[in-house]
Structure 1
Amino acid sequence: MERKAGEVAIRRLVASALSLAVAGVVHAQPAPPGADRVEQLEAKVEAQDRQIESLRRMLVEQQRSIEALGSDVQARQLDALRARGEAAGTPSPLAPAFAAAGAAAPVAAMPAAASAAVPITAAANAAVPAAMQASAGNPGDARMQVGRPPEALSRPPEVAPIFDQPGVLTPRGTFILEPSMQFGYSSNDRVALVGYTIIPAILIGLIDVRQVKTTSLTAALAGRYGIGDRFELELKVPYTYVNGDTVSREIFTGTAQDSVFNADGRGIGDVELTARYQLANRGPDRPFYVLWLRYKSRTGRDLFEVTTDCVTRCVANATGTGLPLELPTGSGFEAIQPGVTWLYASDPVVFFGSFSYLHNFKRDNVSRTVLTGAPEGFPQTTTEPIGDVEAGDILGFNLGMGLALNEKAAISIGYDQSLVGKTRQNGEDSPGSVRVILGTLVLGGSYRLSDRASLNVALGVGVTRDTPDMSLSVRVPISF
C-alpha cells in the first residue's frame, strides 16, 4: 500500500512538474507569426494604395500635358502655314518627343519664351516618354515642366498686318522698333449754284466749281515693349507733310478762268500712346481677343492755330477763299479710343477684325486767326472767336482674312469702316456739319527679311466719296 501510495505521489509530482514545465513553455513561446504578417501586409497595402493614388494623379497630369502638347502641335502647324517667319526646315526642339508620343512634329520652332529651360522633377520623369526625357536631358533642347501648358498657346497667329492695331503682342522683355511711311491722296469736287431758273435745266446766275486735291506724307517711328506675357505698351511719334491744291472759279466775278489756291504744312503730328492686353486663350480652336486703349494727344499744329484767309471781301472786289494759308498737321483735339481685336484661325486662313470707339474731348473758348485784308500800316490779322467746339466721335470696325504663301510671305485682305459723328459748336450742330461714313478696302502683304526684321506693305482704296482715294503704307518692324 505504501508502495502504491509512493508511486501515486511520484506520479502526481511528475504530473505537476510536467504541467509547470508545459505552462512555462507555453508562456515563454512567442505569438503566432501569422498576426505580424497580417499587420505587415496591411501596412504594405496602405503604402501601395498611396503609391497608386500618386501614380494616378501623375497619370492625369501627364494626360493633360499630352493634350496640351497635341494642341500646341496643331497651333504650330497652322502658324507654319501662316508664315510665322521661321527658317525653312528648322526642326522643333521637341520633335523627337512628339514623334515618340505619336503626335505630328511641329513645323515651326518653339518661341524663345516657351523654350526656356524649366527643371523636370524626378517623379515626372518616371511618366514622361523616353524620347522626351532624352530631349529634356540635352542642355541644347527645350525643357518643359510636366502639367504646365506650353506658353506658345497664349500667342495668337501672326498675319500680314493691314490695320493700325496689330493682333500679335510683343513677347515679354522684347522691344520692337517700327519705322513706317504712309502716302495718301484724296480729291473732292464741289459745285455751288448761285442764281435762279426760268425753265428747267437753264440757270441764270453764277456757278462756283471747286476741286480740292490733297497729298499727305507721314513718316512715323513707333516703339513697342512687351511688359508681360500678354501686355505691351506702344509709343508712336509721327512727322507729317501735307500739300493741298484748291482749283476754283470764284463766285460774283464772272470769270471763265480757273484760279488755284495752294497751301502746305509740315511738322510733328499727334503723338499716340497705346496699351494692349490679351485675354487668356482656351485652345487653338477658340478665337484670340486683345483689348487695347489708345490715347491721342494734340501735339501737332491744328486748324485753329494756322492763319485763315479772310471770308469777307479783303481788297477791292476780290473775295477771300476762307481757306487756311497753312495746312494743319494735327486734328486739334485730344482723344481716347478703346477697342478690341479678335483673331480666329481656320486652317489655312486666319480671320481677324476689331471694334473701336474714339471720343474727342471738347475744347472751350476756341478762336482762330483770320486775315483782315486791310492796307499796309493796319493790322493784317484779327482773332475771330468760335466758342466751344466738340468734334464728332468715331465708331469704327474692320474685318479681314490672312493667308500664308510660304514660310516667309503672307497676304491679307480686309475692309475698314468708320462712322464720324457731327461736329458741335456752342452746344449745337456746327453749320454744314453732317455725319460721314469712311470706307476703305485694304490689301496687304508681309515678307520676313530675317529673324529680326519684316517688311509690311498695305494699300487702301476708298469706297465712299468722303474717303481718301488712295493710301499706301510701308512698315519695317525690327525686334531687339
Structure 2
Amino acid sequence: MKRKELTHFPLLPMACLAMAICGSLRAQELVAAGDESKLDGLQRQINEQSRQLDDMRNSIETQERNLSQLQQALNEELLANARARGLPAPALSAGAMQVPAYAQSSAQQPARQPVGQAPESQSRPPEVAQIFDQPGVLTPSGTLVLEPGLQYGYSSNDRVALVGYTIIPALLIGLIDVRQVKTTSATAVLTARYGMGNRFEMEARLPYVYINSDTVSREIFTGTAVDRVFNANGSGMGDVEVTARYQLNQGGPDKPYYVAWLRYKSRTGTDLFEVTTDCVTRCIGNTTGTGLPMELPTGSGFNALQPGITWLFPSDPVVFFGSLSYLHNFKRSDVSRTVIGGQKEFLGDVEAGDIIGFNLGMGLALNEKAAISIGYDQNIIGKTKQNGEDVAGAVRVTLATLLLGGTYRFNDQVSLNVALGAGLTRDTPDLNFTVRVPVTF
C-alpha cells in the first residue's frame, strides 16, 4: 500500500502545476476581457468628449455670429446718434467683438473693452426735425409711435375775368368778374407707426378736417356794383392713409441711406361729387348759380397709390435728405354730382391728374434735445380728364413750398415737432403750420 502511494506521489505536483497553469491562463483571459471593457469605456468617453467639443465649437460659432450682428446693430445705432446730433461719426470696428469666456483660459482672457463709443445718453437723441410728410428715419423694431398732430392752412386767391371786347387798349366794353377766394383749413391727425424688424415699418394716418371758404365776388352778367360774399364750410373724416417703408441699404458715414415706401390713400372723406353744388340746371353756362359747392368736401374723392423713395446723406455736421414720388389717382366711372333741389348731374368718367413730387432738405442738431431743418417741396399736378378728354379750363399746376422746422425732445418718450411752410407759387397755400407730438411706447 505504501508502495502504491509513493508510486503515484509524483503525479500530484504535476496536477497542481497544470491547475495553476489553467488558472493563470483563465486569469489572463479575465484581465484581457477587463482591459477590453476599459478600452471600450475610454473610447466611449473620448467619443462623448469629441461630441461635446463639436457642440461647443458650434456654440462658439453661433455666439460669434450673434456678436457680429450685435456689433453691426450697435454701429448703426451709434451712427444714428452721431447723425442726429451733428457730431462726427465714431470709429467703429467689427474686430472689437469679445470672445466668449468659455473659449479662453483665465490667464489668456483680456479685460473687456467697450465696443465703439458709448452714446452720451441711454436713449436715442432727437432725430432731424421732420418737415415733410414722409419721415426719413424708420421706427426701431418692436416700437410703437403714436403721433397726434394739428395742421393749419390758409390760402388767398384773386381772379379777374374780363368778358367783352376792346375798342382801344385803354377802353373795355363788357363786364368784369372779380373774385377773391379765402380758404382756411384745420386738420387734426392721429398717426401710428410700428417698427417690424430692423428695416421695415408700417404707418396708418387718420385725419379729421375742418375747412372754411369765403368767396367775395362781383359776378358777370349781373351789372351790380356791390360785392357778394359766398360762404361755405365742411367738417368730417378725411382720407385715411396707410404707408409701408423699407430701408434698402445699410449706409454709413458719408454714405447715403435709401428708404423705399408705398402709400395708399383712400377716399373715406366726403368728396366734391357728394356735396350739393349751387347750380339750378348745369354749372357750365348757368347764369343763376355761383357754381360753388354749398358744403366743402373733406376728401379728394379718388383712391390713390403713391410709390416713392427717400434718401439721407450724413455729412458732418449736417444731414441732407430728400425724396422723389409719383402719385396716381384711380379713375372713377359713372360719376354724378348733386345740385340744388336734389337733382343729379351726370359727369361720366372722371380721372384726376397724377402728381409728380420731389423735395430737398438739410437738418442740423443744435444739442442733445433740439434740432432744426430747412427744405423745399414741389408738386406738379397733371390735368383732370372727363370721359377721356381734358376738362375745359384744366391746366397743369405747380405747387412749391419753402419749409422751416424744428424739434425738441422733452424726454425719452415725448418730443415736439413744428414746421412752417410758405407758398412760393400763386396756386400754393400761402401758409401751412404743423405741430406734431410723437410719443414712443
TM over 0.5: yes
Work out which of the residue numbers 393, 408, 414 in structure 1 matches 2:375: 414
CA distance in 1, matches of 2:400, 2:381: 11
Alpha carbons 2:83, 2:316 under 8 Å: kept = no
Partner of 1:131: 112
> What per-residue deviation string (whole Å, max 9, x for no partner) do you get for residues 110-147 of structure 1?
xxxxxxxx994533799885132xx69xxxxx9x9xxx
Alpha carbons 2:189, 2:207 under 8 Å: kept = yes
Partner of 1:297: 266
Alpha carbons 1:82, 1:410 under 8 Å: kept = no
Work out which of the residue numbers 170, 188, 201 in structure 2 matches 1:201: 170
Alpha carbons 2:384, 2:391 under 8 Å: kept = yes
Alpha carbons 1:82, 1:157 under 8 Å: kept = no
CA offset at residue 252 of structure 1?
1.3
Alpha carbons 2:277, 2:338 under 8 Å: kept = yes
Q: What letter matches 1:162 in structure 2? A: I
Q: What letter matches 1:266 in structure 2? A: S
Are the structure 2 counterparts of residues 129 and 82 from structure 1 closer, same or farther at C-alpha, using a change threshold of 3 Å? farther
Are the structure 2 counterparts of residues 363 and 313 from structure 1 closer, same or farther at C-alpha, using a change threshold of 3 Å? closer
CA distance in 1, matches of 2:313, 2:232: 45
CA offset at residue 198 of structure 1?
1.1
CA distance in 2, matches of 1:119, 1:238: 52
Partner of 1:453: 414
Unaligned regions of 5+ residues in structure 2, if any? 1-56, 93-97, 119-123
Helix, strand or coil at the partner of 1:456: strand
For residues 149-228 of structure 1, the aligned pairs below 5 Å read 158-228=127-197
CA distance in 2, matches of 1:66, 1:176: 24
Unaligned regions of 5+ residues in structure 1, if any? 1-53, 84-102, 107-117, 137-141, 145-154, 372-379
Q: Does 1:79 align with 2:48?
A: no
Q: What letter matches 1:420 in structure 2? A: I
CA distance in 2, matches of 1:313, 1:394: 29
CA distance in 2, matches of 1:224, 1:207: 52
CA offset at residue 284 of structure 1?
2.4
> What per-residue deviation string (whole Å, max 9, x for no partner) do you get for residues 233-275 of structure 1?
1111000000000000011111111000000000000000001
Q: What letter matches 2:410 in structure 1? A: L
CA distance in 2, matches of 1:343, 1:417: 18
Helix, strand or coil at the partner of 2:112: helix
CA offset at residue 177 of structure 1?
0.4
Work out which of the residue numbers 380, 385, 392 in structure 2 matches 1:431: 392
Q: Does 1:269 align with 2:238?
A: yes
Partner of 1:343: 312
Alpha carbons 2:158, 2:179 under 8 Å: kept = yes
Query: TM-score normalized by structure 1?
Result: 0.70
**Seq. identity, %:** 68
CA distance in 2, matches of 1:235, 1:66: 30
Report how many residues are paired.
Answer: 364
Partner of 2:402: 441
> What per-residue deviation string (whole Å, max 9, x for no partner) do you get for residues 131-168 of structure 1?
32xx69xxxxx9x9xxxxxxxxxx99931000000111
Helix, strand or coil at the partner of 2:103: helix
Helix, strand or coil at the partner of 1:433: coil
CA offset at residue 66 of structure 1?
13
Q: What letter matches 1:224 in structure 2? A: R
Are the structure 2 counterparts of residues 183 and 253 from structure 1 closer, same or farther at C-alpha, using a change threshold of 3 Å? same
CA distance in 2, matches of 1:79, 1:464: 33
> What per-residue deviation string (whole Å, max 9, x for no partner) do you get for residues 38-92 of structure 1?
xxxxxxxxxxxxxxxx9xx9xx99xx99996996697266236249xxxxxxxxx
